[in-house]
Structure 1
Amino acid sequence: MNSPKSNARQVALQALYQWQMTSQNLQEICQQFENDPQTPKYSKAYFELLLTGVVEKLSELDEAISEFTTRKFEKIDPIEKAVLRLGAYELFFKPEVPYRVAINESINLAKSFGSEKSHAYVNSILDKLAKKSRPTEIKPKGKKKAG
């Protein structure tokens, strides 16, 4: 059983995907998920924050993601693109969410909704984005303090 926040990420992914594919009004999309009895119990506040935050910061997020992808941005699978946008939003704009949580939640979404290798691609890009956006939170690998 997922937490309400994890479910909010899942519903935000589905809503973002729908918005990317249809350009439908965000309020209408939010209403659809709220009224759907199949929607898992989720944090509505976090869902709305993620969805509106990603849309408001879209060009900034897309630019950051593009910096670390070998594919042309428009060629990225729509599910992967939505997962990357959500993960990047949490990395850049939600510092209270530990970077490992943001990445792991995104990997789980990619495993659930993406293709067979989506999770590896998402992990690779978000790991690079985390190093850029959270340099003080990420400790260099290798040397450990003697105890």
Structure 2
Amino acid sequence: MSDEYASAPAGKSSPPRTKRTGLTSTGARKAASKAPRTRSREFALQGLYQHIVGRNDATSIDMFTRDLAGFHKCDALHYDALLHGCIKLEEDLNALITPKLDRKLQELSPIEHACMWIGTYELMHCMDVPWRVVLNEVIELAKEFGGTDGHKYVNGILNALAPELRATEVEADKAGKTA
């Protein structure tokens, strides 16, 4: 890469950055371009974070979250299913996730943990969402809200769970790619 703009002579400026549409300055997707279910996952992630970190109950989290700006733009039914379903099935979700981990469950960041819950819950209970969409959406959540490479870890765990939870769909997808 040329560094002709790296040390521009005094008085000369480097060319303006190309504007990226649909993204904020940090690279996150702009709120206006997000689908209602994507927003639902984001609000559910915030709620699950409160549950994991503060052990807040689902009802108080739900009441708080519904008052947040932008909630009216999300798919409230999907949000309800994710928040209440993940909290209700916390032990079952953890039991599925734990064998795939290379560390203790308690060592996961709360964001990674919540992302894995959402992904596992959707793989188990949201059959209208294709497995690859589940993984992609949850990886995007981890990229946007998690640590630097947390999304890679979330991806690895959910990729290991998908063949167990959506065996027919994953096999059909793989067979279609090799044909």
Between the aligned residues of both structures, percent identity stands at: 34
Cα distance in 1, alignment partners of residues 84 and 57 from structure 2 = 11
Q: Which residue of 2 aligns with 1:57?
A: 89
1:106 maps to 138
Partner of 2:74, secondary structure, is coil
Provide TM-score, normalisation by structure 2: 0.76
| Paired residues of 1:17 and 1:82 also in contact (CA < 8 A) | yes
Gap regions ≥5 residues in structure 1: none
Match 2:68 to one of 36, 44, 54? 36
Structure 1 residue 144 corresponds to structure 2 residue 174 = no
The aligned amino acid for 2:79 is F
Q: Which amino acid aligns with 2:142?
A: A
Question: C-alpha separation between the residues in 2 aligned to 1:37 and 1:96?
Answer: 27
4+ runs deviating over 4 angstroms: none
User: What is residue 76 of structure 1 aligned with on the other side?
Assistant: 108
The Cα offsets for residues 81-126 of structure 1, whole Å up to 9 and x where unpaired, read as 0000110000112222110011000000000000010110010000
Displacement of 1:40: 6.7
> Which has the greater radius of gyration?
2
Give the conservation status (yes or no) of the 8 Å contact 1:61–1:85: yes
Q: Is 1:122–2:154 an aligned residue pair? A: yes
User: Could you list the runs of 5+ residues in structure 2 that have no partner in the other structure?
Assistant: 1-32
- Say whether the 8 Å CA contact 1:7–1:40 is kept in structure 2: no
CA contact (8 A) 2:58 2:87 kept: no
Distance 1:62 1:130, change over 3 A: same
Give the deviation of 1:28 after TM superposition: 1.6
Q: Tell me by how many angstroms 1:67 deviates.
A: 1.2
Question: TM-score, normalization: structure 1?
Answer: 0.92
Distance 1:142 1:136 in 2: 12
Question: How many residues are matched?
Answer: 145
Structure of higher RCO (CA pairs closer than 8 Å, 6+ residues apart): 1
**Aligned CA-pair RMSD:** 1.7
- Tell me the amino acid that sits aligned with residue 18 of structure 1: Q
For the residue of structure 2 that corresponds to 1:136, the secondary structure is: helix
CA contact (8 A) 1:8 1:42 kept: yes
Moved more, 136-145 or 15-24: 136-145
